[in-house]
Structure 1
C-alpha cells in the first residue's frame, strides 16, 4: 500500500486555510496544525471534536486528505475522492460482514447491521431497494405529505399553547417516527418505543463501541425484534386476507415488503431487519435535518430573515442545511480489489471511512463552505450519499424538512433559544439531543 504522505494545498487546488473555520486551531501555526492532524484517531476523539468537527476536517483535507489511520484504515475528506468511491460500487463494498464480526461478534447488533439494506451489496441490496421503491413514488409521497402537514400543525398548536418546545424531542424527532410508523403500520400507542430503540441501535455504529453501548444496543435489538415478530405476524395475516391492505399511506411499505415482487419475498429475518433499518435511517436523517436546520438559522440570523422574507427559498435552504450540518457525517467501505483513490493505492481488504461532513465543506466544491447560504446554487452535497447506495428516502426527507422548518418559521418567526442546547455527542450522526426554543 502506498501513502504519499502529507499533501499540500498545491497538490489539490483549493482556497487554502485562511478563510476556513479552524476553531481552536486558528493561529496555531503550520507545525501545530500538522501535529494535530498526525494525532487524529477516530478511536480517540475528544469532546471538542464531537461538538465541532469542522476545524479538524479542514486540517485533514488540507494536509492529509487520504489519511492512514493507526488501525491501517483510511480516512477520506475530499469531495472528489468520496465521489470516486461512491461511483465504484464494484471495488468498494458496503457489505459489513467481515468488518463488523470483530466489533460485534455473534450478537443481535451483528445480525441487524449485516442484513439491512444499507450495509449490503447486490443482489440483496437490489432486491430490498426494489421492494421499497413504490413507497417513494410521487403518488405515495403526496399521500404522506398531507399527513405530515397535519401532524406538523398539530405539534405547533401544542407548542403555541406552551409558549415554546424542545425542537428535538417535541418536534424534530417526533415527526419522522409518526410517518415511518404509518408506513410500517405501527399502532400509535406503541410509537413512543421507537426513538429510544433507534438511538441505541445506531449508537453502536460509533467508531468506538464501549461495553455499555453494546449492551444497550443489543438489548434494544432484542426488544425491537420481539415487537416486530408479533406485529408482522398480525399484519401478514391481514395482507393475506385483504389484497388491498396498504395503499393509503398506512402500512404501504410493510405490505409491499411482505408481498414481495414476482414471487420473490424477503426471508423472515430480512423482513424484520429491514423494518428496523427503515425506522432508524428515516428517523435519524430527518430528525437531525430539522433540528440542525432550526438551530443553524439562529446562528445565522441574516439567513433566517432572508427565509422569512422569501419563503420560496425553503427548497434550497433545506439542501443547504443538509450540506452545512450533514446528519450522517461518516460512511464506510471495504476495498474488494486493488484501486487508487487520491493518489493512494488501496489493496483488497482495506477499510475506508468516507467523511461526508468534510466533503460537504470542501472549498474546492463549495465556495465559502463555512457560511450558511439558504440560496446556495449549485449545491451538489453528499448528505444522502451517491451511487447505488444513495438514500432511498431522500425525497421524503426533503419534503419533511421543507414542511417542518418552513411551517415553524412561518408560525413563529421570532423563535429563539431557551436554555443550553445539548449536542448528541456522536461522530457518525450529527444532531442535538435537546434544543429548547421559545416564542411570543
Structure 2
C-alpha cells in the first residue's frame, strides 16, 4: 500500500507499509506526504521484495557517489521482462543501466553533442522553434500545454540532433512513453506488450535510418547519429565504434531520455507557476530569475522521481547493512523535498539558492543531457511567460499516473 485515504493519514503506518509494487492512485497523484513519512519514520525502508527505498537527501547522494553500487540491471530486468525480450535487450544495452566499459564508451561518444559550444549553436534554432509553437498557441488561444509545447519541443530538438526526417517523427512520443512506461515498478500485461512492440518497431526504424546514414555520413559534428556511427568524439588514439544493436538501443535511449524528462520539466514547471501565482508574478517582474526557476522546477516536481542501483559489495548506509545484490531505490523526489537539504521544501521559490537538487542524479551517471534540458526549459517556459500576460487552466489536467516519471499526459490551457 502507499498510504491510507486522506483524513486517516498515519505516517508511521504509511512508512512501514510502503511498497513500490503496490501503489495506489493517491500516491501517484501526490507522493510527497508518503515521502515525508518515509524520511521521518523509515528513511532506509526495506520493502517486501527485499529491496531498499532511500528517502533522505544525504543517503541518496552517498549512493550516487559510491562506486560499490552498480548501475547494471541484468539481474533485475531478466525476471521482469524475460531474458532476450525486446525490453530486456534495450534496457540492458542503453547507457543509463550500464557500468564501465560500455557506459564510458557510449558517454564519450555522446558528450560532444552537449558541449557549451554545441548548445550555443543550437540555442537560436531552439528559440525559433519555441516562437513558432507559441505563434500557433496565440492563434488558437486554447491549447494543450503538453501536446502543443512541452512534448513538441524535445521531440523536435532530439530529432534534429539525430537528423531524423521531420515527416518520420510522428511515432517517437508514443514509442518513448511505452518504453519508459515499462520501467515502472509494476507492469500490466498490456504495458509489457506495448513496451516490447515499441522497442521492436523503434529498432527496425533505426536500423533502416542507420543504414541510410552510413551511406551519407555528416562529418561536421551537427548530426549525433553520424558521430555515433563513425565512433567520433573520443580520443583519436582510442576510438571505438558501437556494435549495431548498441548503436540502435542507445539512439532509442537518447530519444527517450531527451524527450520524456524535458516534457515533464516544461509541463511541471508551468503547472507549478499556475499553482503559485505569486511566483509567476515574481518571474514576470524579473525574467532574469528563469535560470533559478528552472532549477526549482526540477527540485520541486522532479521529472524523474526514482533512480536505482544494486549493491556490489557489502556496505553500511545510515546504520543499515546492505548485502551484495541488494536492489536500492534512490528516492529522487523524496530527497528533493528533504528539509535537511532545502529549507521549507514544500514551497516553490523561483529564487531558491543554493539549490543542489538531485533531479539529474550525481556522480559518473549524472545526466549527459542536463545542460540541453535546462536550456529547453529556460527557453520554453521563459518565452511562454513573457509572451502571454495571462495564463490559465482551461480544463482538468491529466497526470501520467506513473511513479518513476512524474508529469502530465494533458494540461488544457488558455492564453491572452
Q: The TM-score by the shorter chain falls in which range?
A: over 0.9
Q: 1:24/1:314 Cα in 2 relative to 1: closer, same or farther (>3 Å)?
A: farther
1:256 alignment partner, one of 209, 214, 227 = 227
Q: Secondary structure at the match of 1:147?
A: helix
Q: Distance in 1 between matches of 2:306 and 2:352?
A: 23
Alignment of 1:204-353 (within 5 A): 204-239=182-217, 245-247=219-221, 249=222, 251=223, 253-261=224-232, 262-353=238-329
Choose which of 41, 64, 72 in structure 1 pairs with 2:50: 72
Quick check: 1:92 aligned with 2:69?
Answer: yes
SS in 2 for 1:275: helix
CA drift of 1:126 comes to 0.4
- Does the Cα contact within 8 Å between 1:238 and 1:245 map onto a contact in 2? no
1:104-149 deviations in whole A, cap 9, x for unaligned? 0120000000000000001100000000111011111012111110
Distance in 2, matches of 1:132 and 1:143, equals 16
Matches within 5 A, 1:10-409: 28=8, 32-89=10-67, 91-105=68-82, 106-239=84-217, 245-247=219-221, 249=222, 251=223, 253-261=224-232, 262-409=238-385
Q: Match for residue 388 of structure 2?
A: 412
Moved over 4 A (4+): 22-26
Give 1:366 shift. 0.2
Q: Once the two structures are superposed, what CA deviation does each residue of 1:312-342 show, in whole Å capped at 9, x if it has no partner?
A: 0000000000000000000111001001111
Q: 139-148 or 382-391, which moves further after superposition?
A: 139-148
Question: Is the CA contact (8 Å cut-off) linking 1:25 and 1:55 kept in structure 2?
Answer: no
Where structure 2 has 5 or more consecutive residues not aligned to the other structure, the ranges are: 233-237
Partner Cα separation in structure 2 for residue 23 and residue 362 of structure 1? 22
Separation (CA, whole Å) in 2 of partners of 1:322 and 1:209: 26
The alpha-carbon deviation at position 24 of structure 1 amounts to 6.0
Residue in 1 that maps onto 2:235: none
> What stretches of structure 1 of length at least 5 have no aligned partner?
1-21
